[in-house]
A and B are shown apart, each in its own frame.
Chain A
Amino acid sequence: MVGDLFLKNFLKLTIQFYSGKTQLKIARRTRKKVIAMPLPVGVELVFAAGATPIFPCRIGDYSSMPFLRIARLYQNLFGWNLLTRGIKFLRPFVGTEFFSEVIDQFLINLYKTYEYYIDYAENEGAPLDACFGTRLLLGAIWPQLKNIHATLGYGTRCNWFSKVFEEISEKQPLVLIEIPNVPAKHGEEMMIESLKIVIDKLEKITGNTITNESLRKQVLIANKIKENYLKILEIWSKERIRLHPLTYTNLLSLLHIAFTDFLCNPKFFNQTLQQLQQDLQKIPKNGGYDTSDMPKLILVNAFGGYEPHLPEIMDNLGGRLLIADWEVLKVLTPIKTQGDMIENYASALLQFEAAWMDNSTLVDRYISIASKYDVDGILFNSIYGCKSITPSLRLFKERLLETDLVLVDIGFQNIGDNYEQLKTRIGAMLELIRERKA
């Protein structure tokens, strides 16, 4: 399914993604503090403090995955640069399907570990009817308390999310960024004060000072990462693409999570993304995939968790799935790097909160991004237990009357709950889109 060049970059990302435990060991060895990051918001601050941010779900035990063992062994022996040769070398032994399996099954493999986290959280008393995302967060953090020095938390519009951080703070230090839901002057003032306290706490935890320059340096690299990420999203929207559509969606799924902590290495992440987006643009003359007949849907929303078989279902039904939450939430908007970095960073945090300050605004953001990428419909992920974003469904339906977009509402509470129903509902929607286009 994929050319070897891609495979190298995608494999690099995948191996790095699944190497959370190794990255923690490196952090310990280099005496860096580890900060759990549930969202990418604030990641630059953590790096500026000389700490290692980590998305807690990446610390799981993925060592049993066969491809990972082989790929790591090869990487350790020969390094990244020779990975391509390694792929050619290994292919006769493991077969072509093996590598497709690695990439196309990325989400499904990942969610097998997620099921463990959900069970852990529920056994420890997390409410069964809390949203998937927060159960996952609790289940991923609680077993790792001895490996994490603090958690970065958020005071945002979702009160339940804030209360989950209170729960975490009972067991380990919490650095809470309070982000006011008010894009006015007093909101800016509060944001700056809140940020100063966060910086102070990070400095106390790490023993390092966050200077204007150290924050600027991290923001500069983060801005480049965002630029590359946006390019990868733009390339997705083209009619002719280099990667198989299912592979592309799995890539977007991986990026969506990897972006949370930059895979603990912003330089590596940036370089790999840059190479990947450059390669994605070079479609061989007789190569690539014509997706002009394939309806495109955008997932609303991904960060609360979703059925991992969705990309596969979409692919089987002849559709393509876009995952673009971070762009919707303005987390991919570059941060200003001139002048006072605290003011600049505060402004960026306020923009993030303003993007979802209420559901009408959020709906407008998703529709705007859908329009940007020429998407045909909304795959509305009704996460059971989400009282924050899921209530936007009614607003979506009202708003979509003014557009050509179609909407299908799919329920999600736990992995694998209603696979057949998803196929039926999505299939019907894709048929409708095709009829409209014909």
Chain B
Amino acid sequence: MIPKINLQEIITKLQKFKENDDKKLIGVFPHSLIPDELIYAANAIPIKLTLGGDEYATTKGTEYLTQATCPFARGTIGYFDQANPLYQLLDACIGGNFCNGDLCASEMIMKFFNIPFIRVTFPTTTAPFSLNFLKKEFILLKEKLESLTGNQITRENLYTSIELYNQIRNAFDNINKQLKKNNSPLMGEDLHYLIHRFFLLGPDETLNYVNQIEIENAKQIEDKIPVLLSGSGIALGDELIHLIEEFNVRLVVNDTWSGIHFYHEKIDINASKAPLDILANHYLLKNESSRMVPNTRRIPRVLNLVKEYDVKGVINHILKFCDPYVADRIRFKEALQEADIPTLELERDYSTSVEQLKTRLGAFFEMISYV
């Protein structure tokens, strides 16, 4: 229902934003937990560095990082190395220490690709001192964004930005809930393209686009087995969701940074609190990633989503060397086994053969079709 993303179209639109609207385009590692709201409030567009899935780019990236770094991080460097036209538009990048891939790739981008870089450090735990620390990191980020864009980030325009992003979260949440219906015209791949469109074009374009989608009148798609995917994100260019839905399956929840992590929890706007405090609170305490120590949110969230969406099977997607999800694998498996939820652990990189993936997915879906 939602067309595949035409990158050239995206590039053309972004060029117009730069030229006509004088907006800065700021690249952000997609799982970095950097608040897009702050970037938007500086009248810039946050562009998530979400391209991936390309084996050649990943191989190029290995010349900078190591073979034992996650293929997404390596691919990101590879795209910069290959002067990808989308990434060439960026005026600056923001990255951090979400994981070793993020940290090392950020450093390589800074060093080798001549692009201004802002580093944000994220704490490891959610202790009160971590929250205070993150608030101050966000204050520094705000100052750097103001300096980069020449625009002041006021309390008012930051509140406005947070409200706008909450609108987007609501919109995506409502669309995702459409996938609960057995005869929904939407598939997981539709949502995948929609969210990547948002990652590349920002909130204004996305709200316009989302408001124009006519779901009610679209052709229904019946009798698909609902599955949930959790773990490492699915980059734009990675065909995994397409492969999954080639079977008689609908991906009803994408529990990754490329899916529900952005919109599962709305930001709690409390007008008596400073907006940077609100952001720090949300991004530290409500972040859905598995990088925190301890990681207490993933398993309860997945168990609830399984119930809410009446999911028949879960795919635990682990990109090779993706530390937060490699670390979580046994715990996750045991929790889902205990809850009697059929689970497929799918560890892969971008060179894993399509046939091999299809074989594993096919066997799993066949098994759960009898449940």
Which among A159, A178, A388, A390 has the highest number of chain B CB atoms within 10 Å?
A159
- How many angstroms between the C-alpha atoms of A158 and B68 in the bound complex? 14
Of the 9-residue stretches B130-138, B243-251, B354-362, which lies at the interface with chain A? Answer: B130-138
Q: Is A182 an interface residue (CB 8 A)?
A: yes
Q: Is B53 an interface residue (CB 8 A)?
A: no
Q: Is A417 an interface residue (CB 8 A)?
A: no
CB pair A384–B68 under 8 Å, yes or no, is yes
Chain A 192-234, CB-CB to B under 8 Å as 1, else 0, gives: 0110010000000000000000000000000000000000000
CB pair A159–B133 under 8 Å, yes or no, is no
CB pair A358–B107 under 8 Å, yes or no, is yes
CB pair B293–A387 under 8 Å, yes or no, is no
For A196, the closest partner residue in chain B by CB is: B129
CB pair A190–B103 under 8 Å, yes or no, is no
Chain B 58-89, CB-CB to A under 8 Å as 1, else 0, gives: 00000111111110000000000000000000
Chain B contacts for A129, CB-based, 8 A: 68, 320-321
Of the 9-residue stretches B20-28, B32-40, B92-100, B166-174, which lies at the interface with chain A? Answer: B92-100
Within 8 A of B (CB), among A56-73: none
CB pair A163–B327 under 8 Å, yes or no, is yes
Q: Do A387 and B323 contact each other (CB < 8 Å), given the known contacts A159-B291, A160-B100, A187-B133?
A: yes
- How many angstroms between the C-alpha atoms of A382 and B66 in the bound complex? 9
Q: Do A163 and B70 contact each other (CB < 8 Å), given the known contacts A178-B123, A194-B129, A387-B323?
A: no
CB pair B321–A360 under 8 Å, yes or no, is no
Chain A 153-191, CB-CB to B under 8 Å as 1, else 0, gives: 001111110111111011000001010111010110110
Q: Is A125 an interface residue (CB 8 A)?
A: yes
Chain A contacts for B107, CB-based, 8 A: 358-360, 395
CB pair B127–A393 under 8 Å, yes or no, is no
Partner of A159 from the list B66, B324, B328, B331 (CB cut-off 8 Å) is: B324
A interface residues, tally (CB under 8 Å): 45
Partner of B130 from the list A127, A170, A190, A390 (CB cut-off 8 Å) is: A190
- How many angstroms between the C-alpha atoms of A162 and B289 in the bound complex? 15
- How many angstroms between the C-alpha atoms of A85 and B335 in the bound complex? 61
Chain A contacts for B132, CB-based, 8 A: 186, 189-190, 193
CB pair A155–B125 under 8 Å, yes or no, is yes
- How many angstroms between the C-alpha atoms of A176 and B129 in the bound complex? 13
Q: Is B330 an interface residue (CB 8 A)?
A: yes
Chain B contacts for A359, CB-based, 8 A: 104, 107
For B135, the closest partner residue in chain A by CB is: A186
Q: Is B111 an interface residue (CB 8 A)?
A: yes
Partner of B123 from the list A155, A164, A358, A386 (CB cut-off 8 Å) is: A155
Within 8 A of B (CB), among A359-374: 359-360
Q: Is B12 an interface residue (CB 8 A)?
A: no
Q: Is B124 an interface residue (CB 8 A)?
A: yes
Q: Is A287 an interface residue (CB 8 A)?
A: no
Q: Is B337 an interface residue (CB 8 A)?
A: no
Q: Is B303 an interface residue (CB 8 A)?
A: no
Q: Is A391 an interface residue (CB 8 A)?
A: yes
Chain B 117-155, CB-CB to A under 8 Å as 1, else 0, gives: 000010111011110110011001000000000000000
Known interface pairs A193-B132, A394-B64; 8 further A-B residue pairs with C-beta atoms within 8 A, sorted by A's residue number: A160-B327, A163-B293, A169-B293, A181-B121, A186-B132, A187-B133, A189-B132, A382-B66
Which A residues are within 8 Å of any B CB, using their own CB?
125, 127, 129-130, 155-160, 162-167, 169-170, 176, 178, 180-182, 184, 186-187, 189-190, 193-194, 197, 358-360, 382, 384-388, 390-391, 393-395
Which B residues are within 8 Å of any A CB, using their own CB?
63-70, 97-101, 103-104, 107-108, 111, 121, 123-125, 127-130, 132-133, 136-137, 140, 291, 293-295, 320-321, 323-324, 326-331
A-B pairs with beta carbons under 8 Å apart, 11 shown: A155-B125, A160-B326, A163-B323, A186-B133, A189-B133, A190-B130, A384-B67, A387-B99, A388-B100, A391-B100, A393-B66
